A and B are shown apart, each in its own frame.
Chain A
Amino acid sequence: MSERLLHPEMPTPAAPSTAPGTEVRPAWRRLAAALVVVHFAIAAARVPADVIGKRCERVADFRARGPIRFHLDNEFMAGADAVEWLVRHASLDSVVLHRGATSGASELVPPLIWPRLLYDESWVSGDERIPLRRPLARGPIDGRDAIAVLECDPERRGGTQALRIVGR
């Protein structure tokens, strides 16, 4: 690809000149043509390994581990066990109580447990008020049947943030 490719109809020196003040500036146009060529070389070179290869790897990883492990079982977040417990024990229409940090791992929980809803525990006064007229998520915790609360550690940059199920 050359400058001629970018400007196939660019007038040759013998051709009539363009309007006054609009003459071609070969230096910057040549530089631009070179940048275009290198840009497309970079873009095309990235397609096999990056656009296709890495994408296929990520999709395969997601499918192999499932959405919960894919998102919440890594060096920064350890919450897959807690969310899998919720999916296993909490009914689909239930409300899951939540306490602790609201940023980080907690953000991933609502889409992973949907249609169950994640609900701020501090808005529930005692056991008598049932939020949204829905059942509270509950199940076997420490050998007894209890209302479950999803607890989230504070977010620490570079550290691991954990989610855990505790009884209420």
Chain B
Amino acid sequence: MNDLTSLAWRLVRGTLLGLAAFALVAHGVLLCGGSVWAGLLPVVLLGALAAQRDDGVRPVGPPAPLPLRAGALVLLAVVFAALCYGALATPARHWDGVVSWEMKAMVLAAAPTLDQPFFTDHAVYAQSREYPLLQPLVQASVQRLAGAAAGRALFPALWLVLVALAGSALRRAGLPGTHAWLAALGIGTMPMLVSPTSGAVDSGYAELAILTTLTAAAAAFLAKDGWLLGACCVVAVFLKPEGTVYAGAIAACAWLLGPRRLATGAVLGTAVALAVWLPLLDFLRYGPLHAAEAPWATRLAVFAGGAILAGALHERVPRIGARAALLAVAGATAAAAWCLLPGEGAGALSAYAHNLADLPQRAARTPELLVAGGEQAIAVRRFGLLFPLVACALWGGWRDLDDAGRAVAVLLAFGWTIVAVSMLLAPETDFAHHVRSSLHRLLLQWTGVAVVCAALCLRPQASAARIPSP
């Protein structure tokens, strides 16, 4: 069982690092006007997996009882079979999966370059043109190598990574086997994730990939793994527009509460990813002419400078309060910069950012949002009893959390805050409809972190252990 935990951890860690490397290289190639080589994904993934070494961390505490392990395996196997069937039987069947994600996968499978009308001619209908391209690129790469159905195998494969990630991370963090198995089972059978609905594993949405990435970030905090945390920030930026905000939240959390290697990894990962992504975003939004006006080398220099400054400040500002104050100033500066950016309304993230100035008026929607949030918290057909469980666990177990556990809890708080603020800032005029159609999907993205957080709070104190630093 120890070997299984170690193997699962190396597989998921290698997968995340490989995806981050692929994201950087592939988007860099697209930015330079090139075509992404079909073999790039397997080469990078296999390279990252091969580079994983046993770090000697072994689970402590008792293993889970055999009946629990057997029952969990059977249930997970049944769910996995259903997800494989749903993913492979047909193309995407749910809205965003069809119109946005899988459409781009088809386009990139036919020609893995941005030098084609779908991306360059704005008269061609392209939904969510400015969305990041990591998921379509991965799906297209597999599709080009092994066919369309194989491309959709990405989704159940990601579900496997998610389940293995939750279990192995908690086991390595010193939790008993029972906690790890229940956490893996909990995230693997989350009703909204496995039901045939929008945002589910086989719906083709990017919620699963973001959920896996954020769960990996929580795992990186537990393992004090700066490389993994940096990879999570990179992957988040290249998955969805809100991924940029999430990467910022991860970096802020690491800078505020984590050791230096975590802060360095997260800040650098976010900076490097944004240095590649933002010029590409300009290209997608405005076309090649505008992109040429924003030389990426300048942005790279700005982000590198920011990362170096953040690292230096982290070293010199030991007190959490002072760090929080600096973080607040940096956040306010960034928000002001976003609001002053040209191109109002162009692009998903900037459309939200430009509404920041209206936040005081929009705060009047808070009661409506709280009611909607309360409804989601007890929506058992979507989240089971996860939210009451997290509330109960945090209420009772917060004080017993170690530093890494507190970082995970704070990350979860950051995540839920971002979700709430994004609801208030939404450009849609029909607020009630927007909340109904989006809130549950944004909350789904943070369920992995919530499961990890609940498991940490429920850690029996007698067996609480600290894992050695890698």
**A interface residues, Cβ below 8 angstroms from B:** 5-11, 15, 18-19, 21-25, 28-29, 31-32, 35-36, 38-40, 42-44, 46-47, 50-52, 54-56, 58-59, 62-63, 67, 70-71, 98, 102, 106-111, 114-115, 117-120, 123-124, 131-132, 157
Contacts and interface: CB of A to CB of B under 8 A. Distances in A.
Interface string B330-360: 0000000000000000000000000000000
B389 A39 contact: yes
Identify whether the interface residues of B are mostly helix, strand, loop, or mixed: helix
Contact of B82 (A44, A51, A117): A51
Contact of A107 (B127, B176, B392): B127
Which 3 pairs, one residue from A and one from B, show the smallest C-beta to C-beta distance?
A28-B396, A123-B123, A118-B125
Contacts of A29: 396, 458
Given A18-B461, A40-B186, 4 more contacts: A19-B461, A42-B385, A62-B90, A110-B126
Identify whether the interface residues of A are mostly helix, strand, loop, or mixed: helix
B313 to A, nearest CB: 33
Contact of A119 (B91, B124, B127): B124
A25 B400 CA distance: 11
B147 interface: no
Contact of A35 (B65, B126, B191, B385): B385
Given A19-B461, A119-B123, A111 B189 contact: no
A110 B127 contact: yes
A10 B388 contact: no
Interface stretch (B98-106, B365-373, B409-417): B98-106
Contacts of B194: 47, 51
* Interface size grouping (class) on chain B: 35 or more
B174 to A, nearest CB: 12
A29 B381 CA distance: 24
A120 to B, nearest CB: 4
Contacts of B430: 157
B450 to A, nearest CB: 12
Contacts of B106: 111, 114
B386 A39 contact: yes
Interface string B99-116: 100110011001000000
A22 B79 contact: no
Interface in B120-138: 121, 123-127
B85 A55 contact: yes
A70 B93 contact: yes
Given A32-B396, A58-B93, A110-B125, A42 B191 contact: yes
Contacts of B90: 59, 62-63, 67
A28 B121 contact: no
Contact of B182 (A15, A36, A58, A131): A36
A43 B384 contact: yes
Interface string B166-199: 0000000000101100100110011100111000
Residue picked from A44, A110, A119, most chain B C-beta under 10 Å: A110
A22 B178 contact: no
B99 A47 contact: no
Given A24-B461, A119-B124, A39 B384 contact: yes
